[in-house]
């Protein structure tokens, strides 16, 4: 089971020492965990995810290039057309990289770094969810992420009823998110032994592992990470 730690801000290098599969950096200014400044050097085994909320396409592409992101997470009301345009831009980077001359080392490396981009589309769930809306997104997104609907686009600290995912009609892999903490381990084990988890690809954690917004508690994160190896 993959692990994504989101809301990286104050101590990303400490978290990176745990070697999670994904680190999420929020590029939405109203968030108390919004990331600014320079990204620290991270192991290539850790995928850098930029989290956006209804951001202009140009802004997303700018952050992708600036921080050499490996994936973008769309946490707003982004349409299928928006995701399709974003995907086409990433594919164009791939085409550009094939046409670059090897002698132009800087341009080649920049283009190549942008060819493996993944798009993660977030859907928020409260008491129920209309899974039929997912169908149109399957061709333009690589993963879905299911979070709890709350006042903010994320980091609300509440879980939704995971049994709703028993009705998941897709084969698209998904991230499970929303108020997951150390106290969720037993519940997660039950979920992973249920049909609802068939296409669960990763667990996404954030606010439940914080000492303060953006500063993660390394000790509890490590214990949680070790527990995931049992799933």
Q: For residue range 3-25, what is the model confidence (pLDDT) as tens digits? A: 999 999 999 999 999 999 999 99
Q: Are strands 215-216 and 210-212 parallel, antiparallel or unpaired?
A: antiparallel
pLDDT score of 156 more than 90: no
Helix 105-113 / helix 80-99 crossing angle, nearest 10 deg: 150
The CA–CA distances, whole Å, from 87 to 55, 82, 92, 114, 143 equal 15, 9, 9, 11, 13
Query: 93 or 132: whose pLDDT is higher?
Result: 132
**Per the structure block, which two tokens stand in for 176?**
């499970």
Terminal Cα distance for the chain, rounded:
7
Contacts of 107 (CB under 8 A, 6+ apart): 100
Q: Residue 146: beta bridge partners? A: 123, 176
What's the CATH code, domain 2-228?
3.20.20.70
Three-point CA angle 21, 83, 158, nearest 5° = 55
The dihedral sign for the CA sequence 213, 47, 173, 186 = negative
pLDDT digits (tens, 9 = 90+) for 115-148: 568 999 999 998 889 999 999 999 999 999 999 9
The percentage of the chain sitting over the pLDDT mark of 90, rounded to a whole number, equals 76
């Amino acid at each position: 089971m993959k692990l994504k730690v989101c809301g990286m801000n104050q101590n990303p290098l400490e978290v990176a020492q745990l070697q999670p599969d994904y680190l999420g950096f929020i590029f939405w200014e109203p968030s108390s965990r919004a990331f600014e400044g320079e990204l620290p050097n991270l192991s290539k085994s850790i995928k850098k995810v930029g989290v956006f909320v209804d951001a202009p396409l140009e802004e997303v592409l700018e952050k992708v290039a600036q921080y050499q992101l490996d994936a973008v997470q769309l946490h707003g009301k982004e349409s299928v057309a928006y995701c399709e345009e974003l995907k086409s831009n990433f594919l164009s980077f791939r085409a550009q990289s094939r046409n670059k001359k090897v002698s132009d080392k800087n341009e080649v490396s920049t283009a190549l770094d942008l060819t493996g981009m993944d798009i993660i589309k977030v859907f928020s769930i409260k008491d129920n969810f209309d899974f039929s809306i997912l169908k149109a997104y399957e061709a333009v997104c690589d993963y879905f992420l299911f979070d709890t609907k709350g006042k903010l686009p994320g980091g609300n600290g509440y879980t939704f009823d995971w049994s709703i995912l028993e009705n998941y009609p897709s084969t698209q892999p998904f991230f499970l998110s929303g108020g997951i903490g150390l106290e969720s381990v037993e519940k997660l084990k039950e979920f992973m032994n249920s049909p609802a988890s068939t296409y669960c690809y990763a667990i996404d954690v954030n606010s439940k592992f914080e000492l303060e917004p953006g500063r993660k508690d390394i000790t509890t994160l490590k214990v949680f990470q070790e527990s995931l190896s049992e799933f």
